């Protein structure tokens, strides 16, 4: 079978959508930092659509992908070998698959090889927007998510005089310094990470970093750079060898790194770009004046549900999201979390019926075709729990409302970490920037129940009601196991535990 590259596109099977637009001599208008699974299934797909239909403004809305981490050398190799082409397969729950070869990546730069090339691309007048998926942890925020911690972001070396920057913040600050010096208007910074107020957080990170280098530049960035908030959604698991084989079968071409996702897509973007807004509304994105209600809905419902099901599901022995969500007890628990605990904390969302949204989520989670794993959801729980689930628990506790389900999720997190602390070979949580600290806190909780919450959730102060609910949940989990602890909540009459109802 032929390898995927420009010269073999014409032999792709008939059902495959291929890029027919001109891919030669391009000047990307967008630089994307952190070109991983999600941005390849989402941002690059929207741009591929835009390039295929032709942008009315005549600009080249292709993107330059940038990898910053050492592991991104694998992406560099594949992008080089395949003329920056790859396959996106979207999978419906019926098993129906659609394949599209994405051609919107016009350049790929691996920063560890040549940071200067990345800075030059960022500083080029043609670069109008810089998009980011550097994960929640990449923003290096501490406190309530508003303060930039240069060490947490791993960016202290970037701030040394004369340093060649290695982090997103160092690269962006240096490129903006050059643009300012040369009188080139700044680009817009558009975060596509799952963070409430991701634009504001990106601003806090970049301005916070720049303050370490040049307070004048920091002030200029704060005043002149647009950081629109955005809500992004498309469940995109990591690519497996099984996916590679399936994609070869579907397209007739060997793709070393395809990406497979669900069919659902959503992108809600704050209409605040400077100097130029990409015409993404022509290809399915939605521009709105205020993204906050959409972000809150998505993070507290979808992302927090992933947290809610995953620690409990792993303790029960499940490995994939759909397994947990097809089980009546577990799906009843998630439905109960959505309906009883999370949804009441949301503001109305323009154009969205929240009951329909909740029902649609459960059916997306039950999509067997995408084979999303629980293990993917528990990476970096120390960034995800505080971002997705804790705000629901804190808001409810502050209003004297029940937090049993949030508390059970926290107890299951502790139990998963405890297992790894006792037997590293049996770890259920394997990747977290704070893994050693969390495992030790989970052990400490055995001697002093509740102390795990203080250590894991700091600097958040743990309200008494959450602590009490956690202690009950923890005891139930130990005594009854995950299913029993879930049933205890259902039996308490807190909800109907109807797995079918959202
Ligand atoms: N996968 C999804 O379903 C999904 C959906 C919506 C949003 N997202 C957002 O996208 C992010 C990435 O998800 P993914 O599925 O693409 O993951 P991935 O592992 O496929 O890719 C992550 C990319 O981010 C880079 N990265 C990681 N830490 C970084 C750091 N500190 N600085 C710079 N780059 C860093 C990696 O090198 C890689 O290029 C998530 O954290 C989330 O915020 C993901
Ligand atoms: O990617 P994260 O770390 O923000 O969260 C894990 C999952 O909840 C997330 O990737 C979802 O699949 C995604 O947000 C769906 O749009």
Q: Looking at residue 493, what is its pLDDT? A: 73
What residue numbers bound the domain in which 246 lies?
6-290
Same domain, 324 and 447: yes
Which ligand 1 atom lies nearest to the CA of residue 236? 3
Distance 38 CA to ligand 1 centre (A): 7
Q: Write out the H or E segment, with its range, that includes residue 32.
A: strand 30-33
What digits encode the pLDDT tens for the residues 159-218? 999 999 999 999 999 999 999 999 999 999 999 999 999 999 999 999 999 999 999 999
Same domain, 55 and 31: yes
The answer to whether the beta carbons of residues 464 and 450 sit under 8 Å apart is: no
Helices of type H across 267-380: 292-297, 304-316, 321-326, 328-336, 354-365, 374-377
Same domain, 479 and 456: yes
Which ligand 2 atom lies nearest to the CA of residue 135? 3
Among 238, 259, 290, residue at a domain's last position: 290
What is the spatial distance between Cα 396 and Cα 139, in angstroms, rounded to a whole number?
Answer: 27
pTM of the entire structure?
Answer: 0.96
Q: Which ligand is nearest to the CA of 433?
A: 1
Q: Which residues contact 265 (CB under 8 A, 6 or more apart)?
A: 42, 45, 233, 234, 284
Within-domain flag for 263: yes
What is the spatial distance between Cα 272 and Cα 82, in angstroms, rounded to a whole number?
Answer: 35
pLDDT band (50, 70, 90) for residue 499: very low
CATH of the domain at 71: 3.40.50.720
> Which DSSP state fits 130?
E
Same domain, 275 and 363: no
Q: Give the 3-state secondary structure of residue 100.
A: strand
What is the spatial distance between Cα 498 and Cα 241, in angstroms, rounded to a whole number?
Answer: 36
Same domain, 120 and 189: yes
Q: How far apart are the first and last CA of the chain?
A: 46
Which of 27-41, 128-142, 365-379 has the lowest average pLDDT? 128-142
Tokens 């599209």 correspond to 100
Q: Is 384 in the pocket of ligand 2 (CB under 6 A)?
A: yes
What is the spatial distance between Cα 12 and Cα 254, in angstroms, rounded to a whole number?
Answer: 10
Mean pLDDT of the chain: 96
Q: Is 303 in the pocket of ligand 2 (CB under 6 A)?
A: yes
What is the spatial distance between Cα 182 and Cα 6, in angstroms, rounded to a whole number?
Answer: 37
What digits encode the pLDDT tens for the residues 401-448? 999 999 999 999 999 999 999 999 999 999 998 999 999 999 999 999
Q: What is the mean pLDDT of residues 50-79?
A: 97
Q: Is 370 in the pocket of ligand 1 (CB under 6 A)?
A: no
The answer to whether the beta carbons of residues 365 and 334 sit under 8 Å apart is: yes
What digits encode the pLDDT tens for the residues 363-372? 999 999 999 9
How many folded domains does the chain comprise? 2
Distance 133 CA to ligand 1 centre (A): 5
Same domain, 337 and 244: no
């Amino acid at each position: 079978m032929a390898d995927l590259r420009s010269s073999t596109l014409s032999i792709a099977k008939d059902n495959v959508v291929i890029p027919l637009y001109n891919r030669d001599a391009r000047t990307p208008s967008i630089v994307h930092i952190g070109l991983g699974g999600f941005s390849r299934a989402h941002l690059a797909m929207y741009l591929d659509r835009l390039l295929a239909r032709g942008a009315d403004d005549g600009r080249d809305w292709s993107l330059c992908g940038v990898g910053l981490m050492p592991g991104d050398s694998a992406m560099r190799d594949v992008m080089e070998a395949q003329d920056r082409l790859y396959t996106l397969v979207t999978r419906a729950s019926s098993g129906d698959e659609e394949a599209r070869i994405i051609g919107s990546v016009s350049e790929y730069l691996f920063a560890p090889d040549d940071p200067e090339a990345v800075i030059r691309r960022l500083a080029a007048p043609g670069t109008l927007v810089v998009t980011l998926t550097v994960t929640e942890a990449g923003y290096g925020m501490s406190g309530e998510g508003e303060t930039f911690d240069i060490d947490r972001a791993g960016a202290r070396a970037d701030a040394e005089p004369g340093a060649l920057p290695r982090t997103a913040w160092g690269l962006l600050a240096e490129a903006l310094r050059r643009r300012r010096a040369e009188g080139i208007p700044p680009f817009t910074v558009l975060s596509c990470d799952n963070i409430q107020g991701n634009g504001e957080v990106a601003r806090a990170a970049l301005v916070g970093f720049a303050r370490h280098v040049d307070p004048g530049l920091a002030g200029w960035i704060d005043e002149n750079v647009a950081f629109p908030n955005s809500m992004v959604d498309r469940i995109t698991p990591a690519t497996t060898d099984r996916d590679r084989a399936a994609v070869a079968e579907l397209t007739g071409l060997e793709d070393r790194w395809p990406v497979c996702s669900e069919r659902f897509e959503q992108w809600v973007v704050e209409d605040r770009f400077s100097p130029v807004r990409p015409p993404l509304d022509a290809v399915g994105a939605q521009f709105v004046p205020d993204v906050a209600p959409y972000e809150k809905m998505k993070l507290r419902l979808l992302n927090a549900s992933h947290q809610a099901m995953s620690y409990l599901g792993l303790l029960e022995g499940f490995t994939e999201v759909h397994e947990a969500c097809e089980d009546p007890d577990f799906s009843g628990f998630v439905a109960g979390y959505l309906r009883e605990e999370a949804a009441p904390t949301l503001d109305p969302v323009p154009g969205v019926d929240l009951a329909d949204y909740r029902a649609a989520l459960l059916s997306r989670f039950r999509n067997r075709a995408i084979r999303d794993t629980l293990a993917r959801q528990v990476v970096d729980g120390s960034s995800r729990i505080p971002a997705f689930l804790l705000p629901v628990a804190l808001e409810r506790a502050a209003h004297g409302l029940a937090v049993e389900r949030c508390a059970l999720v926290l107890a299951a997190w502790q139990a998963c970490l405890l297992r790894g602390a006792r037997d590293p070979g049996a770890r259920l949580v394997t990747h977290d920037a704070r893994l050693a600290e969390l495992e030790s806190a989970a052990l400490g909780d055995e001697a002093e129940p509740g102390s795990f919450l203080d250590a894991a959730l700091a600097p958040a102060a743990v309200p008494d009601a959450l602590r009490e609910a956690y202690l009950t949940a923890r005891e139930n989990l130990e005594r009854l196991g995950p299913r029993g602890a879930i049933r205890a909540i259902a039996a308490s009459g807190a909800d109907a535990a109807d797995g079918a109802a959202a």
